[in-house]
Amino acid sequence: MAALSDLARYDMRAPGVLGGGRKKARALIERVQALALARGRVLAGELADIEKDPARAEAEFRAAIAADPRSDEGWSALSAFFVARRRFGDARLVWEEAAETGGGAALAAYGLGGVALASDEEVAEAAQRLRRVLERPAWSGAPGPAECHERLGALYAKLGRRPEAAAELEAALRLEPGRSDWRLRLARLER
């Protein structure tokens, strides 16, 4: 599934002379939809966005959410679509809806944190919400605790709270010690 999705994304963007093409991408998207409808709808939305059809792109992302409201793919794609257009209020509404309709509190808090980082709005509120999620007992699904600690660290850094940001990155690295990108950010914070 991941390979088909990656190939479809390549074909969306690459010219025919390099083996790509939108016709090939559409055929791959149909194959993906047959196997995983939500993921296929996200790909169809990405293609519509590339083709400068925002109404169709938004409709495809919403269809992905309807196909699998517990998956983060549709929610993330729709939010990213709004953030790219600087429609931050709409992006926040996506995550509020995710929290209510099955996406879960962790996914919503993580997504709202991403919108806060992109918009520089409601950063403190997003940090508080993510902190509350991390204080709950374990949850399953995406994002995991490591990603949530990392995102909270980024929010604290944006707020200028360097010691707390470093502590969150350290917590994330205890859970996923192989993340060199997080390790580099931690080193920058500790300077």
Going residue by residue through the chain (191 aa), what tens digit of pLDDT does each one get? 889 898 899 998 888 788 888 889 999 999 999 999 999 999 999 999 999 999 999 999 999 999 998 888 999 999 999 999 999 999 999 999 998 876 678 889 999 999 999 999 999 999 999 999 899 876 666 788 999 999 999 999 999 999 999 999 999 999 999 999 999 999 999 88
What is the domain partition of the chain in residue ranges?
1-68, 88-191
**CA 154, 155, 156, 159: dihedral to nearest 10 degrees?**
120
- For residue 140, what pLDDT is reported? 66
Q: For residues 99 and 117, is the Cβ–Cβ distance under 8 A?
A: no
pLDDT of residue 172: 96
* Whole-number pLDDT of residue 87: 97
Taking residue 52's Cβ as centre, other Cβ atoms within 10 Å add up to 8
- Residue 188's pLDDT is 93
Domain 88-191 in this protein, CATH class:
mainly alpha
pLDDT at 105: 82
Give the torsion sign (CA, 54, 56, 57, 61). positive
Q: What is the pTM of this model?
A: 0.86
- Residue 133, helix vs strand vs coil: helix
